[in-house]
Amino acid sequence: MTTAQIESLANRESIANADFDVGQVLREIVFPTFYADVDDVIGDASWRRKMSTLSIVASTTVRNYDLAADFDRMEQLRLITTAASYPPLKYVGEDPGQLTSAEAATGQTRPTGYYIVPGVVSTWAVKLNTFPEAAYTAHYVYYSRLTFTDYTTDVSVNSYVPAKYQFALVHLLRHEIFSDRYGIGDDRASTALAKYGQAVSKMVAGKEQAPRNYAVFVD
């Protein structure tokens, strides 16, 4: 589906008119809520997982690299050269000591850690904990989310939400429309929200598209 199709299906009674921006509500409320609920209910969904690369250069001034435009959060970042593949870099953004040490670093060595900072072109960038002493290709696995440049451009969601889960977005947008028009306690709003909850709960079975082939330990 596209965003225009979602808006049309959700507003099929045409009760959301000029004083209710369906496109804005879909992009600013429905999609963020949907992604948050997916994380809460099923965790790291394989259909949100993507891979990309960064070209790291030896430098005494550059260690920030913009991430993909649809980056949401990192799973793994690894440096690779033609001669070697190194262990995944450690995320140090939650460790005040390592974070301040990284910020104060001035020398050139092979980076062993990273943290996430605002990007220049993209929303987010990776910042290495040292200035690289050599060129590397950084391979990273991340979780994506659909981003928008405005409230009106029609955008396909097929690459970001599998077709079998897309109607959840319709149900949640209908809930927002009914809640605005008739109040949160309205039966139509409650029904749409219940259908949305049912749709999200069914996603658990589709967390991974293939079986794991390694042990998973739960704390």
Please state the domain extents for the chain.
Answer: 3-45+148-206, 47-144
Does the pLDDT of residue 214 top 70, yes or no? no
Contact 185, 31 (CB under 8 A): no
User: Tell me, what's the pLDDT at 184?
Assistant: 85
Does residue 14 come out as left (phi exceeding 0), alpha (psi in the -120 to 50 range) or beta? left
pLDDT tens-digit readout, 129-148: 999 999 999 999 999 999 99
CA atoms in the 13 A half-sphere facing the CB of 202:
12
Contact 165, 203 (CB under 8 A): yes
pLDDT tens-digit readout, 150-201: 999 999 999 999 999 999 999 999 999 999 999 988 999 999 999 999 999 9
Element spanning 56, H or E: strand 49-56
Where residue 18 falls among pLDDT bands split at 50, 70, 90? confident
Which residue blocks in the chain are alpha helix, DSSP H?
3-10, 22-25, 31-42, 96-104, 167-182, 187-201
Is this prediction's pTM over 0.95?
A: no
Does the pLDDT of residue 218 top 60, yes or no? no
Structural tokens at position 2: 């596209």
Q: How large is the average pLDDT for residues 40-67?
A: 94
pLDDT tens-digit readout, 73-105: 999 999 998 888 899 999 999 999 999 999 999
User: Tell me, what's the pLDDT at 23?
Assistant: 96
User: Which amino acid is located at 76 in the chain?
Assistant: Q
User: Tell me, what's the pLDDT at 80?
Assistant: 92
User: Tell me, what's the pLDDT at 219?
Assistant: 56
